[in-house]
Amino acid sequence: MNPLISRLFCLLFLFCCQFLHAQTDNKVEYFWDYDPGYGNGTIVYASNGENKLPVNLDGVDCGCHILWIRVQDSHGNWSTTIGKPILVRNDATSAISQVEYFCDCDPGYGCATSINTSHIIGNNKYTIDTSDVSDGAHLFCMRAKDNQDQWSVVISKPIYVYSINELISELEYFIDSDPGEGNGIKIPMKSRDCVNFSVKTDGLTIGSHQLNVRIKDCYGEWGLLSSEPFEITEVDGVEKIEFSMPINITVSKGTCVLQSDNLITTDYKVRIISLDGRTLSSTIWNSYSNICEINIGVINQPIIVIVENDNHRLVKRVMAK
């Protein structure tokens, strides 16, 4: 391929009609990553109705960048600046040679679960084995490697794994605001052993959010919410999803042990309640500690663990053994 052609992208931008007025030519400028100031970017001109903009990539390093673009009308007024994350590759003819995925913790490049890449053409569907994944919210991550041994960025999606039985008739989830019982996003139950589903995050703002899941039994009664806080951040123009409270919960011989992979930096209130709403125990998980033990005094029954502070709230149902 001609090197010059391989360094050019034709990108499609659909501008709002208020950006383009009745003038014949519109002054368009674009820049990479950092704003040089109005009128100091790369200037091109476009007539009304033209939506294809050739962008020269000469001098742009391979990797993740943000392409910014704005329009000036005949009166000298600038539109808002629109940014899009762009992954610049050196070889436009590279092909996918390996795809792998993992949940939560990254085992390292090439060490995750591999997916057969022999038929990667267009859209593909894969069945993900979650038999070794515990119930609750998890982060599903996937990446690919090309035939030049270059790895892509990691694409992540929050998923929720839930074991169900014959008594459960319906599952739903919602993010942040409760739409009311039965009005959440329905979760298909194709199996009675375990349900896996992806969580749509399109349209969510950068910042803190709350994933909530609830079930309805065969008697028409809705159960208590399971809640998991998560964060959407943006680094180098690429959105990243992280669970705010990655806490492991184990219960043995009347003691509940909560453990965080990271050192917590603020106090949390911990409450243990029974399914009928009785408070079994409560304590404060002090900051700058990654473990909290609490005596619950019951065994062989399900309990609800609530961990919360002013910004986050985690609710999980576990079995006291």
**How does pLDDT run across 166-201, given as a tens digit for each residue?**
567 788 889 888 898 889 998 887 655 567 777 877
Residue 15 pLDDT grade (very low, low, confident, very high; cuts 50, 70, 90): very low
The CATH number covering residue 284 comes to: 2.60.40.3080
What letter represents residue 233's amino acid?
T
Domain that holds residue 118: 96-158
Domain assignment present for residue 72? The answer is: yes
The CATH number covering residue 82 comes to: 2.60.40
| β-bridge partners, 153 | none
Domain assignment present for residue 128? The answer is: yes
On whether both 269 and 309 belong to a single domain, the answer is yes
Give residue 238's pLDDT: 57
**How does pLDDT run across 251-274, given as a tens digit for each residue?**
888 888 888 877 777 888 898 888
- Euclidean distance between CA atoms 161 and 195, whole angstroms: 6
Return the percentage of the chain with pLDDT > 90, whole number: 2
On whether both 285 and 311 belong to a single domain, the answer is yes
Q: Is the pTM above the cut of 0.85?
A: no
